[in-house]
Every structure is written in C-alpha cells, then in structure tokens.
Amino acid sequence: MLETVLGAGIFFGGGFALYRLVFGLLYFLLPPRHVEPISGKTGGQKRFLFVVPARNEELVLGRCLESLRGLEHPAELVKCVVIADRCGDGTARVAWEMGVQCLERKTAEGGGKGEALDWFLEQYPLGDVDAVCFVDADCRIDAGAPKELEAVLDAGARVVQMANGVANPTESWLTMVTHLSHELQNHLFYEARTKLGLSAAVMGTGFCVDGRLLREMGWKAVSDWEFTGRLLERGTKVDFTAGVKVMSDFPATLGAAWPQRLRWSAGRFGVWSRCFRPRVTQFLWKPTLKGLDGLALLFGPSHSVLFNWNVTILVASWLLPVAAVWRWMAGSVVLLQTVHLGLGVLNSGMGLRMVVAVTFLPLYCGWKGLVELVAAGNVVLGRSRGWGKGHRGAGK
C-alpha cells in the first residue's frame, strides 16, 4: 500500500517535472520564432486601446501612464483608459492630471479585478478598436509594443501575452529568485509552447486581445486563469511574444511579498475550485492530447509547489520501509527539476549572482508552501479577498 501511494506521488511529480523540462529543452533547440504578417500590412495601422485597472495605485500609476504616453505609434490610433476600482486615494486624480480618461467604479459591492473588467466593458464602447491591451498600474511597457503586437496580430494571433519582467532583479535574493521564476515561465515554457504552435496563458498583465474577439466573448471571468480557460474552451490559443516586455518592481523581502503572493495563490485556488471538475469532466467525455495539455497548462502546479512535492516524496521514500528502487526514482525526479532550474539560471544572464541566489531556494519554497496552505485555507473558508491594495513593490 505504501509503495502504491509513493509510486503515485512519484508519477505525478515526475510527469510534471518531465513536462516542464521538455519545453525548457525545446526552447533552446528550436529556432527563434519569426513573425510573418499574413495581411501584407506595413504597420502603424491598428487602433489600440490600453486599459489600466487600478485599485489604490496613486503612488505608481504615473510611471505606468508615462510609459504609455511614450508608445511609438500614431497618437490618433492609441487610447488609454484607467479603471479606478473603489479607490480610496488619488488614483483617479493622477489619471485626469495626466490627461488620461478615468472611469471610477464606486459600487459598494466587493469583487476583484475580474468584476472591474466586466464593469468596464459594460460602460465603455469598444467601437472600432482593433486590439485591447491590459496593463496593471504598477507596470511599465516597452515603447515599441504596438509595432510588435501589430505584427503578431497580423500574423493571425487573436490573443497575445507579452513577457512579464522584474524591473529590480538585483535588489535582493528574493527579487533574483522572482526573476528566475519569470525566466522559467516566460521563455522556457510559454515561448517554447508558442514555437510549437501551442497556447500560452494570460498572465494577468501585459496581454492584448483582438477587439472583435473581446466584443464577442467579453471578460466574464474572475481571474486571468479563468479567462484562459474560456479561450481554450472555444479553441482560441494565446500567443506569447518575447518582443515586448512589461516590467514592474517586485517586493524585496518575504514580509513585503506575503500579501501579494497570498492574493495570487488564493486566486488560482479559487479557479481550481470552480473550474477543475467541469474541465476534467469535459476531457473525460472527449479525451484528446490537446485537451490533456490544456488541463496541464491550467491546473499544473507552480515551480515551487512542484519542488516541495518532489522533495517531500524523496524524504518520505527514505523514511518509509519501501524498496530502494523507489528512492532512486524519487531522486531522479528531483534531478529532472534541478536540470530544468539550471536551464533557467543559464538563460537568466546573471551568472554567478543567480547561482548564489538559488541557494536560498529551500527557504523560498518552504515559505511559499506556507503561503499556499494559508491561501487554500482562505478559499475553503470563503475568506479569499479581491485584488486588494498595493502594488508589486509595496512595502519594500
């Protein structure tokens, strides 16, 4: 019985470790993706709407709007709108002072970012907008974003996720580990998937949706993961582009990062609680490799959760009275994940500094495991909150 349970744990962790490693290797092996527009357009023709959802972001909104003001695209083809969602500070004032339209949601009802986006799409007519880009208030976007996005959209994409980056990677070991996590997610997973013609996922900020598609389906999702699920359900994939970076400052200490990571984890657990059963049921009725890949994309564990799982299985294999082969198998799974991590370190471009930061990973993963447990408990007890106050770098 013990060996059956242990074997199931090794199969689960090993399967996802191998799944991620394969994509990481393919990122290095496959040639760079070249976007070839199918419409023959020369660029500078699409009408972009940049939407900035904000909740008490008075301190950081100005930098975001300044980066949007510097976009290299005909001014008459770019519009910016801020959603001030139940703000108790000067978020709306900052937007108006910078000449940006601001819609203020003052409802007494709760809810998070998803509800705010639904409200916005009910209030704001998209009209003849070709593409709608969503950028969080604490982010800055590359000036050349419209040119790259236009090329990807003209090549046939309907949803594009831009690379999310850490603007302060060298501030502390935690920001370096966060940078490494982004490398693994952006390039060794999403970019590799896009090279293979598979879907990436919407990451919450820095994504662009074809205007006609957004008018057809709306948002109607609590989080970005749920929106990704809706896209996959209708057969619409998310393309990833590394040609545009959306940068933001991240917390430099575990204490400052706690509320942010707790909110993110609770949001993902919430999606699992609402969507896992219907998605699995749908797959069982009509099993396909594409459907299985979609489940792995939406519900697969994060890197830290997978690390905690595999290390726990390895320790259990040494503590329990099981055959030695199980210990070798559990160790091999941890080795697979370590190789994948090494690929991320190699691609980070930070050399020895990143190697030193990686020595803090056991501390980080233990802390992140506690975050996940608290977040799961909050979801079960109905205590999970909306998107809350504060930006990525709050409280540094």
What pLDDT digit, counting tens, does each position of 206-225 carry?
999 999 999 999 998 888 88
Q: At what angle do helices 173-185 and 324-348 cross, to 10 degrees?
A: 100
Residue 133: count of CB within 10 angstroms of its CB: 26
- Find out whether 102 and 96 touch, Cβ atoms under 8 Å: yes
**Does residue 61 register a pLDDT over 60?**
yes
Above pLDDT 70, what percent of the chain?
93
Task: Read off the pTM.
Answer: 0.91
pLDDT at position 41, please? 58
Q: What are phi and psi of 162, to 5 degrees?
A: -85, 165
**Does residue 12 register a pLDDT over 60?**
yes
Q: What are phi and psi of 178, to 5 degrees?
A: -65, -40
Q: CA nearest 113: which of 216, 278, 300, 263?
A: 263
CA atoms within 13 A on the CB side of 267: 22
Token pair for residue 98?
A: 């910078």
Task: Let me know how long the chain is.
Answer: 396
pLDDT at position 276, please? 86
Among 61-75, 172-186, 217-231, 268-282, name the one with the lowest average pLDDT.
Answer: 268-282
Over residues 250-276, the mean pLDDT reads 88
Over residues 190-197, the mean pLDDT reads 96
**Does residue 385 register a pLDDT over 80?**
no
pLDDT at position 109, please? 67
Over residues 78-104, the mean pLDDT reads 95
Token pair for residue 327?
A: 């210990």
Q: Cα separations (Å) of 63 from 5, 84, 140, 320?
A: 52, 16, 7, 55
**Does residue 115 register a pLDDT over 60?**
yes
Token pair 């941890």 is found at: 334
Q: What are phi and psi of 141, to 5 degrees?
A: -115, 150
* Predicted confidence band of residue 2 (pLDDT cuts 50, 70, 90): confident
**H/E segment holding residue 52:** strand 48-54
Return the bridge partners of 166, or none: 248
* Predicted confidence band of residue 386 (pLDDT cuts 50, 70, 90): low
* Predicted confidence band of residue 36 (pLDDT cuts 50, 70, 90): low
Give the whole-angstrom CA distance, residue 316 versus residue 64. 48
**Does residue 35 register a pLDDT over 90?**
no
Q: CA nearest 21: which of 384, 337, 289?
A: 337
- What is the identity of the amino acid at 133? C
CA atoms within 13 A on the CB side of 124: 26
CA atoms within 13 A on the CB side of 21: 18
pLDDT at position 55, please? 92
| Structure-model confidence comparison of residues 268 and 153, the more confident one | 153
What pLDDT digit, counting tens, does each position of 159-170 carry?
999 999 999 999
**Does residue 340 register a pLDDT over 90?**
yes
Phi-psi region of 170 (alpha: psi -120 to 50; beta: other; left: phi over 0): alpha
For 1-391, which CATH superfamily applies?
Answer: Spore Coat Polysaccharide Biosynthesis Protein SpsA; Chain A (3.90.550.10)
Averaged confidence pLDDT in the chain? 90
Give the whole-angstrom CA distance, residue 221 versus residue 206. 17
Give the whole-angstrom CA distance, residue 73 versus residue 271. 36
**Does residue 71 register a pLDDT over 60?**
yes
pLDDT at position 389, please? 47
